[in-house]
Structure 1
Amino acid sequence: MQNPVGKTMTMRDAIAAFVADGATVALEGFTHLIPTAAGHEIIRQGRTDLTIARMTADVVTDQLIAGGCVRRLVSSFVGNSTAGSLGELRRRVEAGQLEFEEYSHYGMICRYLAGAQRLPFYPLRSYGGSDLPAVNPAIRKVASPYPGPDGGVERIYVVPPLNPDVTIVHAQRADRAGNTQIWGLTGIQAEAVYAAKTAIVVVEEIVPDEVIRSDPNRTVIPAHAVDAVVECPGGAHPAFAQGYYDRDGAFYRDWSRISKDPDRLRRWLDEWVRGTGDHAGYLAKLGDERWARLAVGEAWSEPVNYGRRL
């Protein structure tokens, strides 16, 4: 249940409250801060018929598909982050069992921007010379209402808005109200949150209000855009969380072999996701020794003086 003094919820309660069968769910985080633990909880709760929007469809997307959760994927990249292919995703697409709507990275960004700003579409030039418009009818051309460089009518590509039912992002820290701070690669998290009807923020730690107020420029997502805050240390594994833990390269290499074999993949989900109960159980199974290898050293940012009245 929601905390009366803030928006803090358990992962189990947040997913139960905001992720329904048939929903469009955006899972965003670029290279680091990937909401893996949230994806696992969606699998545990047996959600089905989802449309998953994710710029960089990677391991957690493969897991959600294998878990029987996904009917349709909206993405701009598919792959196991330098380590190989995504076995289940590839099998489903090649067999015609998964709807796949493909955009460029910037095309996805523009969709979130249009969604966040409640615009009917967003213009972009980068599809010129691309084959993507030929395979995705949602990428269209419209006549600009303004003269082009030569004074004539200019036709430009546009993409439709993306307004997920719920956006889930991972971040380093937030306060109980949902003021969320991110450093390192910030990706498209803020725009994806603003575009959504509801938003769940998963963080490494919930910190006192004064910590957030002491460094306001690091607040990427403000509280008014957030519906639930979930504290879940290690929730981005096998991705990294800048300043908290490193990327688990061995996991990504192992995943190529796991996902290549459908039976092995389903056994992995039963053991590591459904069988662990929650993310704390997942980390316990991972083991202290392996987690210790992902520890990072210190590289502190210099403090700044925001100034105050004397």
Structure 2
Amino acid sequence: MDKRTSLSEAVAEHIRDGQLVAIEGFGHLVPVAAAHEIIRQGFRDLTLARMTGDVMIDQLLAAGCLKGVIGSFVGNSSAGSLHELRRRVENSDPVPLDLEEYSHGGMVCRYLAGASKLPFYPINSYRGSDLVALNGKIRSVKDPYGGEEIHVVPALNPDVTIIHAQRADRAGNIQAWGILGVQAEAAFAARRVIVTVEEIVDDGVIRSDPNRTIVPSHVVDAVVHCPRGAHPHSVQGYYDRDDGFSRRWSELARDPRRLRDWLQENIHGTRDHAEYIARLGPDYWDRLQVEAAFSVPVNYGGRK
């Protein structure tokens, strides 16, 4: 089945107000373009699940899309704080935010439980942690094999999971490399899956390197060709992280009015991600280019 579609069509078809939406990618392969499309289409009352919250959280909050965040880290890469999020959490300005906090390990376990169709997942690292007192969803159960009680976290089953990757075929077999996070677990845990990719390649390319497939087509509902869809984050082998953007954001987001003006100009004021990227200019990407570093070929040869 051909699952190729545009980003606007994928978001409009699969996302609804009030849903739990996971947007995952760790360090790189972050589906920022999809978050921008959610803003363009004006969705409301979403709960965002994301292990490593970043600039997109400030943007989604300022746009009025989110009522809650489930995660384990928030920050603007190495450039500072997320000031819109801080205003919500510290001062309920302009409204409070429902923030449900876990460790990285806790979020991984929640996705694992969801992907495995289990009600909860055990985790050993919460002994002595203040998170247990702060988060009532972290509970403990008796070890049926006679050991000590162990903490557990509930399954996380997003209504929609969105991830970004290097490439896919038309059917939605998704291939990625470099640092990976919980993209596969978040996809298998979700009811619907949207994937944006740098390239859509011929079926034979995917078949020639099957072990690089992190999410198979039967899990994916929509695959979107979205070059530079992770900016300002990096994509291994395609472009580097835009640290300059992150530093500028750290200053811009201190002022709520400047932040909303940025949203109006760059997201609401653009038709799609391609126009957003075009506004940066053709020379913008020169400093984000990466050198080629090819892996050694793998022989998948089989029986004659």
TM-score range, shorter chain: over 0.9
User: Where has structure 1 moved over 3 Å in runs of 4 or more?
Assistant: none
Distance 1:77 1:186 in 2: 16
Q: Which amino acid aligns with 2:250?
A: S
Root mean square deviation, CA, Å = 0.7
Residue 308 of structure 1, CA deviation: 2.6
1:130 is matched with which residue? 129
Match status 1:14 vs 2:10: yes
Q: How does 1:151-190 map to 2 (within 5 A)?
A: 154-190=148-184
1:264 aligns with 2:263: no
- CA distance in 1: counterparts of 2:42 and 2:91, whole angstroms: 23
Deviation by residue 1:241-298 (Cα, 9 ceiling, x = unmatched): 0000000000000010111110000000001111111110111111111112111110
User: After superposition, where does 1:46-85 map in structure 2 within 5 Å?
Assistant: 46-85=42-81
Measure the CA separation in 2 of the matches of 1:269 and 1:156.
Answer: 45
- 1:38 and 2:34 are equivalent in the alignment: yes
Distance 1:262 1:277 in 2: 23
Give 1:95 shift: 2.6
Does residue 239 in structure 1 map to residue 233 in structure 2?
yes
Q: Give the alignment's TM-score, normalised by structure 2.
A: 0.98
Name 2:218's counterpart in structure 1.
224
Are 2:120 and 1:121 aligned?
yes
| Structure 2 counterpart of 1:207, from 201, 204, 216 | 201
Q: Distance in 2 between matches of 1:290 and 1:134?
A: 47
Deviations 1:104-130 (A, max 9, x none): 000000000000001011001111111
1:299 paired residue among 289, 293, 300: 293
Displacement of 1:61: 1.3
* TM-score, scaled relative to structure 1: 0.96
The one-letter code sitting in structure 2 at the alignment partner of 1:38 is A
- What is the SS of the residue equivalent to 1:51? strand
**Alpha-carbon distance in structure 2 between the residues aligned to 1:103 and 1:47:** 25
CA distance in structure 2 between the partners assigned to 1:258 and 1:237 by the alignment = 17
Other-structure match for 2:144:
145
2: CA distance between counterparts of 1:252 and 1:21? Answer: 29
Give yes or no for the alignment of 1:290 onto 2:289.
no
2:103 alignment partner in structure 1: 104
Structure 2, unaligned runs of 5 or more:
none
Q: Give the unaligned 5+ runs of structure 1.
A: 149-153
Q: State percent identity of aligned pairs.
A: 63
How far, CA to CA, are the matches of 2:249 and 2:38 in structure 1? Answer: 19
The letter for the 2-side match of 1:124 is I
Aligned residues: 301
